Homo-oligomer: A and B are copies of this chain.
Amino acid sequence: MAANRQRSERSPLLNRETLLSYFPQSQRVYVCGTNPGVRVPFREVRQEATRLADGGRESNPNVRFYDTSGPYTDPAVPLEPGKGLPAIRLPWIEARGDSEPYFGRAAQPIDDGYLSWNHKEKAEKRNGASGGALSLPLSRQPRRAKRDAVTQLAYARRGIVTPEMEFVAIRENLGREDRVPERSDREALSFQLPGAPLGARIPERITPEFVRDEIAAGRAILPANINHPESEPMILGRNFRVKINANIGNSAIGSSVEEEVEKLVWAILWGADTVMDLSTGKDIHRIREWILRSSPVPIGTVPIYQALEKVGGRPEELSWEVYRDTLIEQAEQGVDYFTIHAGVLLRYVPLTARRRCGIVSRGGSILAKWCLAHHEENFLYTHFEEICSILRAYDVSISLGDGLRPGAIADANDEAQLAELRTLGELTQIAWKHDVQVMIEGPGHIPLQLIQENMDLELRHCWEAPFYTLGPLTTDVAPGYDHITSAIGAALIGWQGCAMLCYVTPKEHLGLPAREDVRAGVVAYKIAAHAADLAKGFPGVQEWDNALSKARFEFRWNDQFALSLDPTMARSLHDEALPQEAAKSAHFCSMCGPHFCSMKITEEVRNFAREQKISPEDALTQGLEQKAKEFRKGGAAIYP
């Protein structure tokens, strides 16, 4: 406890009270499925009652939210950083009987990076020869398949609806059986405008069988390494809610294990659906172990980063053996998806020579350099079948990296990019042959008018595998605001069918994101994803907008804050003008002041109608004749 408190003091974030304070009026609820252990977490926001004109009160229902924050915001689960999260999926994995624990690869000092000798010595001093101390205390034995693929894709193809699939179905529906939106009555809280799904086929209700079918068809993936049993299942696909990813990770310049775990918790608190650990600096293995054991969301990595560390940062010295060793190391730790830049072919590299910004993907540039140095084909491409045969034993999904994505508007949709995309389609078929789940990474810097072409070509060349894009950034000119330049593109491509939007923070192009940058990036992308869900017409998503707008219209300020994407920010901006607590129940705001508020005037009109006990439509034209009399004016002529 003492150690725990000490840690809490150093890391105010990993303190239950602090975490809960960001989301007022909220409580954790669970909806159970038919499979044992399927308990899907949601956040529910309590609302005040509406004060009616006659002095009465009308209660407002709780509003339910998709919740990515896991046990961190469940007061019933002890918060013990360093102990790891509960392994909720372990019983399901064990019950399937198709995997077994084994003596995995032993952790070695080199796993934490050899980039500088100084650093190597430090690591050896700390860890001794064995390197055992790299792991957390709870360290489980890793599992792997006994024989056949243990992937959700393999199960789906065999017609098996896993507990993970049921979990996902409940989660996408917000746990409600009856989520058919009201299409006609604008006053109804469930009212929803018709979407424009642009080719998506979203049913009124997501069933476990629908989830299975989408996974079987390769149109969706459910990233769930059997060695990351702490993860709460989620799904990526065009016919589901649009998801977002947050990148964290240290670099040679800075950051520590503690900071990275904090960033993880911070990211999922604000709504990141998956997190990628892109660490490239020291302690790379140890940071990953901490992140995985602490994460209720799927974790992605780019294994080539660590492989590069193992060869001293010299791309030319990379080899299939080092890479393979890294894949196994990370698969055993529990990484849920790997970005693999297997589409950067030797013959594509020259296509980038006349670009404005060449190759901007780190992975892409590493492999391009390797290809050129050896004048050989990319070893990830030549060993792709072998990669698949490893990953299927753990259910690590593949995120086919776009190593040749454009890093400037001038380079958008060029031949280098599109040639690689076609190769990713070829690799998709190979992954599917091995029952490995796969998604496709996309750009990058793309002006608005060329975004649709990216989505169309991805669907065509990659057989409708889920698309996962970085932004795209719609202009190069605003460093410091690239969460905005890219949220614009992200909303558009999300609407067009992109399954997951990789966030961009204000620090993009300038530095590693700090905590507040992570928040700004996640919030901007939650906006983009929700705007896309509305545009696609995903059933039920407009309820959130409706509830918030009702609270706004009724001057329930505290409810408006509590229902906000970022309640703390909403309240603090309101406080800047009217900090008094009384203002939180005032029927005006600082924009117009008390005498001059359009919402107030509309409300008066409605109340007047209610007083007269006639329908608003009639009241507004008939009833006001009476009001006109009150103002001692005769019945004026109606114009025209």
Contact = CB atoms under 8 A, between A and B. Distances in A.
A166 B413 CA distance: 37
A476 B511 contact: no
Interface in A338-385: 346-347, 349-350, 352-362, 364-366, 368-369, 372-377, 381-382
A477 B187 contact: no
Contact of A566 (B313, B382, B478, B534): B478
- In the complex, which of the residues A357, A479, A635 has the most CB atoms of chain B within 10 Å of its own CB atom? A479
Contacts of A570: 479-480, 510
Contacts of A474: 491, 527, 531, 534-535
Interface in A489-521: 491-492, 495, 506-507, 509-512, 514
Interface in A574-599: 574, 576-578, 589-599
A53 interface: no
A193 interface: yes
A600 to B, nearest CB: 8
A549 interface: yes
Nearest to A578: B511
B616 A354 contact: yes
A357 B620 contact: no
B488 A598 contact: no
A55 interface: no
A601 B368 CA distance: 9
A481 B358 contact: no
B590 A511 contact: yes
A594 B281 CA distance: 11
A488 B528 contact: yes
A485 B369 contact: no
Interface string A538-550: 0000101110111
Contacts of A488: 487-488, 491-492, 527-528, 531
B589 A637 contact: no
Interface stretch (A73-81, A87-95, A130-138, A402-410): A402-410
A252 interface: yes
Contact of A376 (B409, B545, B627, B638): B638
A304 B478 CA distance: 37
Interface stretch (A172-180, A329-337, A444-452, A460-468): A444-452
Contact of A354 (B187, B195, B628): B187
A357 B411 contact: no
A168 to B, nearest CB: 23
Given A376-B636, A487-B488, A599 B448 contact: no
B447 A480 contact: no
A102 interface: no
Nearest to A536: B449
A407 B549 contact: yes
A56 interface: no
Interface string A178-210: 000000001100010111100000000000000
Contacts of A476: 544-546, 548-549, 552
Contacts of A628: 372-375
Contacts of A357: 549, 552-553, 599, 602
Given A193-B412, A570-B510, A564 B477 contact: yes
Given A527-B485, A549-B408, A616-B353, A373 B506 contact: no
A563 interface: yes
A2 B193 CA distance: 61
A3 interface: no
Contacts of A315: 601
Given A356-B549, A357-B552, A479-B560, 17 more contacts: A187-B354, A187-B356, A253-B593, A349-B620, A353-B606, A353-B620, A358-B553, A362-B597, A408-B546, A410-B546, A477-B548, A477-B565, A479-B561, A481-B569, A487-B488, A488-B491, A511-B578
20 contacts: A187-B354, A196-B449, A253-B590, A354-B617, A357-B549, A358-B599, A358-B605, A358-B606, A359-B602, A375-B636, A381-B639, A407-B599, A408-B546, A409-B549, A448-B495, A449-B536, A484-B484, A488-B491, A492-B492, A509-B589
Shortest beta-carbon contacts, A-B, top 7: A358-B602, A353-B616, A252-B593, A377-B639, A511-B577, A365-B598, A408-B549
